[in-house]
Structure 1
Amino acid sequence: MGSSLRRQDYTEAARRALKDALWHNSINMAELFGFPKEAMIIEVEIAVQDPEAVDCEALKSVFPYGQISVTAVQGGLDVPRPVGLPTVIANAAISVSFDMEKATEASA
């Protein structure tokens, strides 16, 4: 989860959600399966109230490696404030996988 407290910046809320997810989880699957980190297929789904306001391309820079795809969908929460823009809350889901068939074919 990430938020934009005062600017209603959906991309920044999403970026904070991604950084929070990465900070709390280690993605070390590449080493476990003997793949290079660049082979990771990372699929990201960002949920916010205004998916069109998210710069999905800019969010790819959060990840240091891998094949990244980012999609914004309806969700999250906009919390009204008495004065000013609402607080934006974004939720992020990250899925990591590998093309296992490709690796098996290459080693045969």
Structure 2
Amino acid sequence: MPMKRMVLEIGMGTDIRGTDYTKAAVRALRDALWHHSLTITHALGMEADAMRVEVRIGVPKPDQVDHAAVLAVLPHGTGTVTVVEGGLEIPNEAGTGSTVMAHAAAIVRLELPA
């Protein structure tokens, strides 16, 4: 059975002072996920863990994001994480740190009959 795209969720997260790309990415995914309650799986007679979630994160330095920490945010189902260049980094006036802004997209797919 083919996987069908059911939901697209988007979010934004920041690390204000620590220049921590993973922290910003985790907060962005939480922002995307924590403002709703998906009941689509139950409406279709499926378990919530049947969801497959593609997580896409945009930050200025993709190589500094811990994929496992981002994936650990998912409350149900299985997922993959792709990190691309995006987001925003704003240096502080002293030049000693930055605020990092990450963007997240969570694409939820379910295996449905054709």
TM over 0.5: yes
Mapping of 1:38-49 within 5 angstroms?
A: 38-49=49-60
Whole-angstrom CA distance in 2 between matches of 1:100 and 1:57: 28
CA-CA distance at 1:76 after TM superposition: 0.3
Name the residue aligned to 1:65. 76
As a proportion of its length, which structure holds more strand?
2
Whole-angstrom CA distance in 1 between matches of 2:36 and 2:91: 31
CA-CA distance at 1:10 after TM superposition: 0.4
Q: Deviations over 1:19-47 (max 9, x none)?
A: 11112232222112211111101110000
RMSD: 1.3
2:110 to 73, 83, 98: 98
Q: Which has the larger radius of gyration?
A: 1
Whole-angstrom CA distance in 2 between matches of 1:69 and 1:42: 7
Q: Gaps spanning 5+ residues in structure 2: where?
A: 1-11
TM-score (structure 2 length as normaliser) = 0.83
Q: Deviations over 1:56-105 (max 9, x none)?
A: 1121111122011111111000012102211000000011011114xx7x
Whole-angstrom CA distance in 1 between matches of 2:39 and 2:53: 12
Task: Pick 1 or 2: higher relative contact order, CA cutoff 8 A, min separation 6.
Answer: 2
> What count of residue pairs does the alignment treat as equivalent?
102
Partner SS for 2:72: helix
1:36 to 33, 38, 47: 47
The reply on whether 1:78 has 2:89 as its aligned counterpart is yes
AA aligned to 1:44 is: V
